[in-house]
Amino acid sequence: MYRLPSGEEIFVIDAHIALWDASKENQRNVHGEQFINCFYDYHTSLSPKEYWWPKDDFLKYSKERLVKDVFIKGHADMAFFQPVFLNEFYKNGFGNLEANAQLAKEYPNRFICNGTFDPRHGSRGLEVLEAMKEKYDLQGVKLYTADWYGDSKGYKLSDPWAVRYLEKCEELGIKNIHIHKGPTITPLNRDAFDVADVDDVATTFQGLNFIVEHLGLPRLEDFCWIATQEKNVYGGLSVVMPFIHARPRYFAEIMGELLFWLDEDRILFGSDYAIWEPGWLIEKFAEFELPEDIAKETGAVFDDKVKKKILAENAARLYGIDIKSQKEKIKNDKIDRQLNMSKV
Amino acid sequence: MQKEQEVQGKLQKVHDPELDQPLPELGFIDRTIIDENDVEIVFRLPTYWCSPNFAYIMAEDIRLYVSELDWVESIKVRLIDHSASEEINEGVTRGRKFSNSFNGQSDGELEGLRRKFQIKAFYARQDRLVRHLLNNDLLDEKQVIALTVDQLKCLNLSWEGASLREKYLVKKQELMHPEANVYAITDHEGKKISIEELPGYMFGIKSTRLSMEFNGHYCRGLLEARYHLSGKN
């Protein structure tokens, strides 16, 4: 729970976190090393200096640290895992569904564990997806369309096999499709940031929700255009959030654009932990006000009602979470007791 | 010294297509090595993963502009610390097509991509110019849409305004057939904007500008972090 400057206590969902292992032992090749180096540059270039992690901690961190950073220091009440494997770079994968699930078991009602798929795995992958749904009761998947697989350096959601996987999601009731559209790895001559493939599938699959993580940056304008057309397209704020510290004016400009082109019901907060810690992001977000000129030009309203939607209600709606009963469920659980102890 | 300055002058013309800013200003030029009439340009990018397609365009443009200097006999372009350094350096130095340098991994040439980003840069520059004209009460909305290119050239502008005008007109000329280039504020094909369309149109081009600028801040921050340059943070 986080107390807004107005005094109101609000429920918070961090819709984009990860538990990764990029340790030297797990790196498969130079790409694995360069991938985490790049993450670390994101981390230091946009976090306030007092929140910089030592590089070694950043390579691999414990689940205890995650719980502390996200829930105890981080103000979140729930968090969603958005895993990515990168098997071409890491021996046991960058993320790991089993490790996520174990943590969720240890802390009931605190996590949503999403799965993932890669359409280039063909029919075998469809079976894996089914088994994954069965085992982890998936409600969503995180897709990384720029992931490497064999000779392929990425895919599109509109590729025939990707469409078959989305049909499978619809059939299995996996409703939330999070797509990483943003800074990416080695796209070739087609514009791999292009969000047009989201447009295609959002039209075809009206029963699915498409959450474009990182707002399709650096193609914000294309994302806004698509989201205006397709009502089942959402924007995830991870990667955009830290600008609230580094470039607050730009953060305000982007919020103004989002509220103008989309609406307040289709924007989701995410920290992208461990690249950035949710604690300072939420504190700054709760205090943030739109400068008058931006509010005037876009007609955007950024009040507590909107902040509550972005920080929890929108994500809760997509995942069928009733915030009121969720509050009851987590009352006096392990994390809540720790929080109460630290207040004494 | 003279040669160094001439090379630097040419590098100022090379823009990152996604950011629409000159490479030296972005800090992307690592160093230039001039040995008699042989020039080597070493450049770097904010991440190991930056798109090879855009890197290729930049490398090609470095080669193109530096080769305009008549004393230059050979040019070597070298991208360092990148996942595709080898393919790009080899390809551009030999003057190969992009698709031949990335055999089997690309689906065409770069011309379409170049054009797409020229159009984005055109709109971003137009947004800055039009805002400057309107916000400083130099023209009203009706006058803006009726303005011809010749009239725009004659406007008495501040140093800032004149620089925005020059940048905009360079891009406009790159994109448009001279016959379509009559009115100053048009879409990328030279079509006039009506007064009814203008508000929606302005919102559209603003998001293009913001997206490019946002990306620019991102890339500068990453470059600073990667090479431990003194940054804002």
B interface residues, A as partner, C-beta within 8 Å: 18, 46-49, 51-53, 83-84, 98-99, 102, 104-110, 113, 116, 203-204, 206-208, 210-215, 217-218, 221-222, 224-226, 231-233
**Which of A204, A137, A208 lies closest to A179 in space, CA to CA?**
A208
SS3 A234: strand
> Do the beta carbons of residue A258 and residue A235 sit within 8 Å?
yes
Hunting for tokens 């429920």 — which residue is that? A11
Sort out which chain A residues have CB atoms less than 8 A from B211's CB and list them.
217-221
Q: What percent of chain A has pLDDT over 90?
A: 83
User: Which amino acid is located at B144 in the chain?
Assistant: V
Q: Which pLDDT tens digit goes with each residue over A144-155? A: 888 878 888 788
Q: Which pLDDT tens digit goes with each residue over A217-275? A: 878 888 998 999 999 999 999 989 999 999 999 999 999 999 999 889 999 999 999 99
> Do the beta carbons of residue B56 and residue B40 sit within 8 Å?
no
Average pLDDT, chain A: 93
Q: Does A46 touch chain B if contact means CB atoms closer than 8 Å?
A: yes
Hunting for tokens 């089942």 — which residue is that? A232
pLDDT band at residue A192 using 50, 70 and 90 as cut-offs: low
Residue A216: the pLDDT is 81
Rounded-to-integer distance, Cα B39 and Cα B69, Å: 11
Residue A217: the pLDDT is 80
Judged by CB atoms closer than 8 Å, whether chains meet at A221 and B204 is answered as: yes
Residue B5: the pLDDT is 96
Assess: ipTM above 0.90: no
**Mean pLDDT in residue range B190-197:** 95
SS3 A113: strand
Q: Where are the domains positioned within chain A?
A: 2-326
Q: Is B68 exposed, middle or buried (0-12, 13-18, 19+ CB in 10 A)?
A: exposed
Assess whether pLDDT exceeds 60 at residue A92: yes
Helix (H) or strand (E) holding B28: none
How is B197-213 classified by DSSP, letter by letter? THHHHHHHHHHHHHHHH
Q: Which residue would you say has higher pLDDT here, A102 or A191? A: A102
Assess whether pLDDT exceeds 80 at residue B100: no
Q: Which pLDDT tens digit goes with each residue over B117-164? A: 999 999 999 999 999 999 999 999 999 999 999 999 999 999 999 999
pLDDT band at residue A191 using 50, 70 and 90 as cut-offs: low
Helix (H) or strand (E) holding A211: strand A209-213
Residue B197: the pLDDT is 96
- The residue in chain A having the minimum alpha-carbon distance to the alpha carbon of residue B111 is A189
Q: For the domain A2-326, what is the CATH code? A: 3.20.20.140
Q: Which pLDDT tens digit goes with each residue over B28-52? A: 999 999 999 999 999 999 999 888 8
pTM, to two decimals:
0.92
Please enumerate in sequence order all residues whose Cβ is within 8 A of that of A304, keeping only pairs 6 or more positions apart, or say none.
A4, A6, A8
Rounded-to-integer distance, Cα A329 and Cα A336, Å: 11
Residue A292: the pLDDT is 96
pLDDT band at residue B232 using 50, 70 and 90 as cut-offs: very low
Instruction: Return phi, psi of residue A273, to 5°.
Output: -50, 140
Residue B108: the pLDDT is 62
Give the CA diameter of chain B.
Answer: 59
Judged by CB atoms closer than 8 Å, whether chains meet at A254 and B48 is answered as: no
Residue B107: the pLDDT is 57
**Mean pLDDT in residue range B186-203:** 94
**Mean pLDDT in residue range A301-323:** 97
Assess whether pLDDT exceeds 70 at residue B233: no
Residue B103: the pLDDT is 62
> Do the beta carbons of residue B126 and residue B190 sit within 8 Å?
no
Sort out which chain A residues have CB atoms less than 8 A from B53's CB and list them.
187-191
Rounded-to-integer distance, Cα A54 and Cα A60, Å: 11
**Mean pLDDT in residue range B193-216:** 93
User: Which amino acid is located at A15 in the chain?
Assistant: A
Residue A260: the pLDDT is 92
> Do the beta carbons of residue B23 and residue B198 sit within 8 Å?
no
Assess whether pLDDT exceeds 80 at residue A4: yes
Minimal Cβ distance to A189: which of B108, B213, B224: B108
Task: List own/partner pairs for B26-30 with CB under 8 A and 24 or more apart.
Answer: B26/B216, B26/B219, B26/B220, B26/B223, B27/B220, B27/B223, B27/B224, B27/B227, B27/B229, B28/B58, B28/B223, B30/B80
Q: Which pLDDT tens digit goes with each residue over A116-131? A: 999 999 999 999 999 9
- The residue in chain B having the minimum alpha-carbon distance to the alpha carbon of residue A29 is B83
Minimal Cβ distance to A189: which of B46, B48, B107: B107
Interface size, chain A vs chain B, as Cβ–Cβ contacts under 8 Å: 116
Which residue segments constitute the domains of chain B, with CATH numbers given?
Answer: 2-109 (3.30.300.130), 112-222 (no CATH)
Average pLDDT, chain B: 91
Neighbour order of strands in the sheet with A233-236: A140-143, A176-180, A209-213, A233-236, A267-268
Instruction: Please state, as a whole number, how many other Cβ atoms lie within 10 Å of the Cβ of residue B114.
Output: 16
Minimal Cβ distance to B105: which of A31, A34, A188: A188
Q: Are strands B15-16 and B21-22 parallel, antiparallel or unpaired?
A: antiparallel
Kindly list the distances between the CA atom of residue B182 and the CA atoms of A336, B127, B147, B164, B178, in Å, as whole numbers in the listed order: 68, 18, 9, 19, 8
Judged by CB atoms closer than 8 Å, whether chains meet at A189 and B18 is answered as: no
**Mean pLDDT in residue range A192-197:** 76
Q: Which pLDDT tens digit goes with each residue over A31-68? A: 999 999 999 999 999 999 999 999 999 999 999 999 99
